[in-house]
């Protein structure tokens, strides 16, 4: 399992920028333009790298409504191609994979095939009631598959993930210790209630105290204003929404300028990468 030092060595600075993919083949809003999907992914990855992030994560963000667990082969193939494009555009930054809503097998397989450094799993242990219905964690399956694949891909797992509620309420300290000590998660992610919603810093502190040697990240609602406060309680942040602005074509695209501002706020003195917004 990763230590905090290991995380900060790999993701330096501790800001992971999101590449939210356009709708992929087979999803309800897929428009048939595969070239545009890859171009958008590359453009966002380049802007994140220019903005000085420590890593990027690729996610099928616009494939909603999501499958609760297994995605079809076409999604896995599309994600693999997109991750390769992002890795090339990101200039050597560590790349992560999140296959929504909770296909850890697909995410781990894509990561192993592409050389990605980590994956995100929304429900790794326990069970959650979500807009996709009941989702159960499969840590037993994911960690055995990682061993079988012979890969060291890191597993970042959510505690009380956004757009969900635990099936049975327990103290968050119990939940996060199960993630780390029984689910063997390499890092823990704390979010707000929904995409773009801020996480409670007091909850982050509680999680940190429960697993002091474990990397703790904030995974929603992070912006340049909240970043300094979060830097005091978290090892890293995962940022998407606040880094975007409309480009010339009307697409919400990552801004290198906004990224530099956030990185500088989270890590004073960082965020000096070059590149246009």
How confident is the model over 191-200, as pLDDT tens digits?
Answer: 987 787 788 8
What is the chain's mean pLDDT, rounded?
93
Alpha-carbon distance of 253 to 246, in angstroms, equals 6
Q: What's the pLDDT score for residue 192?
A: 84
What does the pLDDT average to over 158-173?
Answer: 90
| Ranges assigned E (strand) in the chain | 15-20, 55-59, 95-98, 118-121, 127-130, 133-136, 154-159, 164-166, 187-190, 216-218, 236-239, 244-246, 252-254
Q: Does domain 4-266 have CATH number 3.20.20.70?
A: yes
What does the pLDDT average to over 225-254?
Answer: 92
Give residue 270's pLDDT band: very low, low, confident or very high (50, 70, 90): low
Q: What's the pLDDT score for residue 268?
A: 67
The answer to whether residues 51 and 13 touch, using CB atoms and an 8 Å cutoff, is no
Per-domain boundaries in the chain: 4-266
Whether the pLDDT of residue 52 is over 90: the answer is yes
């Amino acid at each position: 399992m990763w230590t905090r030092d290991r995380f900060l060595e790999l993701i330096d600075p501790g800001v992971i920028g999101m590449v939210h993919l356009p709708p992929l083949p087979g999803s309800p809003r897929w428009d048939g333009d595969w070239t545009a999907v890859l171009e958008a992914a590359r453009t966002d990855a380049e802007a994140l790298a220019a903005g000085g992030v420590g890593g990027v994560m690729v996610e099928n963000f616009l494939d909603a409504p999501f499958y609760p667990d297994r995605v079809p082969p076409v999604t896995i193939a599309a994600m693999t191609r997109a991750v390769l494009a992002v890795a090339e555009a990101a200039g050597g930054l560590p790349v992560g994979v999140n296959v929504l809503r909770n296909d850890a097998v697909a995410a781990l397989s894509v990561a192993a095939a592409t050389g990605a450094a980590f994956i995100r799993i929304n429900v790794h242990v326990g069970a959650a009631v979500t807009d996709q219905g009941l989702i159960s964690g499969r840590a037993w399956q994911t960690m055995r598959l990682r061993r079988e694949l012979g890969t060291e891909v890191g597993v970042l797992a959510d505690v009380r993930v956004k757009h969900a509620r635990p099936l049975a309420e327990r103290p968050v300290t119990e939940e996060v210790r199960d993630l780390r000590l029984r689910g063997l998660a390499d890092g823990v992610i704390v979010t707000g209630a929904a995409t773009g919603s801020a996480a409670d810093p007091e909850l982050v502190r509680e999680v940190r105290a429960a697993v002091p040697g474990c990397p703790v990240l904030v995974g929603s609602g992070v912006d340049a204003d909240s970043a300094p406060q979060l830097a005091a309680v978290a090892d890293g942040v995962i940022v998407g929404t606040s880094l975007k602005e409309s480009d010339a074509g009307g697409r919400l695209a990552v801004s290198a300028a906004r990224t530099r501002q956030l990185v500088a706020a989270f890590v004073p003195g960082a965020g000096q990468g070059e590149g246009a917004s």
